[in-house]
Amino acid sequence: MDAAPIVPASPEVLHFFEEYSGFLILGHREPDGDCVGSQLALGSALERAGKRVVVANPGPFERPEIAPFAADFATTVDIGPLGSRPAAIVLDCSSADRLAVLAESTRDLPILVIDHHASGAVFGDVHFIDPHIPATTILVATLISQLGYTVTPREAFLLFLGLVTDTGFFRFLGAGETTAFRTATALSEAGASPREIDFHIRNGRSFESRKLISRMLDRVERLRDGRILLTYQTQADERELGSRRDSDALNSLLLAIEDVEMIAVAKEKPEGCTVSFRATSEIDVGELATEFGGGGHKKASGAFVSDNLDTFLTRLRARLNAVA
C-alpha cells in the first residue's frame, strides 16, 4: 500500500485502536461485498497486530459473491474473549438499526463507525465517515496502512472485492473520482487479482436464480411514463427457487432499459419487507430510502420496513408516483 494515506484518518480514530484490548467488528444486515470485505480485512489486520477480535454479522449472506464467507462470521456475540477493555467497530452501516439483532451487543461499548453513506442516522462515539468515498473498503484499506500494518494478499482480495462491488467494477464512478483507482492500484500491488475477483463475482450462479430474474422481470410495473420501474420477490419465490439472489444482474437489466431513471426492488421477508433503490439520474435515492427508515448513497440505497408485502407495495407505489 502507498505510504501516504489515500483518505487520512483523524488522530482520534487512530487512537481508538491503541486504547482498547479487543474489538467487536460489526456490519449491517443483508451484507454486501463492501461490508463483508471491510469487516474481514480489518479483523484480519487487527488480529495480526495482536488484538483480540470477534467479527459478527446478522446476515443472511444471500449474495452469491459473499456466501462463501458466511462461516467466517459470528451471528451471536460474546465479548468475553475481547479482554478487559473491549470496543466495537461498526462498518458500512448508515444507522444503528441496520445492525438488527446485534445492535444490543454494542450497548455498553465505545463505538467507532467507519462508513461512506451520505444518508442515515449518525451514531457511535468516534467517526471515520466520508460520503464522497465510493466504498467503505477504501477507508479500511487506507486505515490499515495508517496503522502501520501491511495488507496481506487475502486482505487485498477482500478489500478489492468490496471496492468493485460498490463501484460496479468502476462503472458507477464519475469524472474526478480517483480514490477508487488509487486504492485498486495499491491493492493490486498487495496481491489482489482483478481477473480472479471478476471470476469470483460473475461465476457460479444457479439456474434457479435466472428463473427468479425472469419472474421478477414479468412483474415489473412501469411508473411515471416508464421513468421508474418497480418489481418484487415473494417468500413463495424463495421457497421454490432458493435464497441465493443475483440482484446485480437484475438491476443491470432494468437500468439498461431506455428512458429508465430509477428502479425499486422489494423483497418479502418473514418479518416485513426490504427494498433497494438504484438510480441513473439526479434522483437522490439515498434521501428516498430515509423516508422508509433506511439510507445509502445518492445512486444506491435500501431500507427495511415491517409492513406486509401488499401494504408496502401500495405505500411504495404511491411514493414512487410522487417522485419529481
For 106-158, how does the pLDDT look when each residue is reduced to its tens digit (9 = 90+)?
988 999 999 998 777 789 999 999 999 999 999 999 999 999 999 999 999 99
Q: Write down the pLDDT at residue 1.
A: 54
Render pLDDT for 17-46 as a digit per residue (tens, 0 to 9): 999 999 999 999 889 999 999 999 999 999
Per-domain boundaries in the chain? 11-201, 207-321
Does residue 27 contact residue 61 with C-beta atoms inside 8 Å? Answer: no
Share of the chain above pLDDT 90, in %: 74
**Distance of alpha carbon 289 from alpha carbon 269, whole angstroms:** 18
Alpha helices in 147-293 (DSSP H): 153-167, 179-189, 194-202, 207-218, 235-241, 247-255, 285-290
Asked if residue 184 has pLDDT above 70, the reply is: yes
Which residue type, as a one-letter code, is found at position 195? R
What does the pLDDT read at residue 117?
86
**Are 129 and 153 in contact, with CB atoms under 8 Å apart?**
no
Q: Could you tell me the pLDDT band of residue 180, with boundaries at 50, 70 and 90?
A: very high
Average pLDDT over residues 226-234: 97
Average pLDDT over residues 71-96: 92
Look up residue 142 and give its three cell numbers: 487506507
pLDDT per residue as tens digits for the range 85-108: 999 999 999 888 889 889 988 988
Quote the mean pLDDT of the chain: 92
CATH 3.10.310.30 fits 207-321, yes or no: yes
Q: What per-residue confidence (pLDDT) applies to 4? A: 66
What percent of the chain shows pLDDT beyond 70? 98
One fold for both 11-201 and 207-321? no
CATH 3.30.300.30 assigned to 11-201: no
**Does position 2 have pLDDT exceeding 70, yes or no?**
no
Please give the pLDDT value at position 203: 82
| C-alpha 111 chain-centroid distance | 19
Q: What is the pLDDT of residue 116?
A: 93
Per-residue model confidence (pLDDT) at position 63: 86
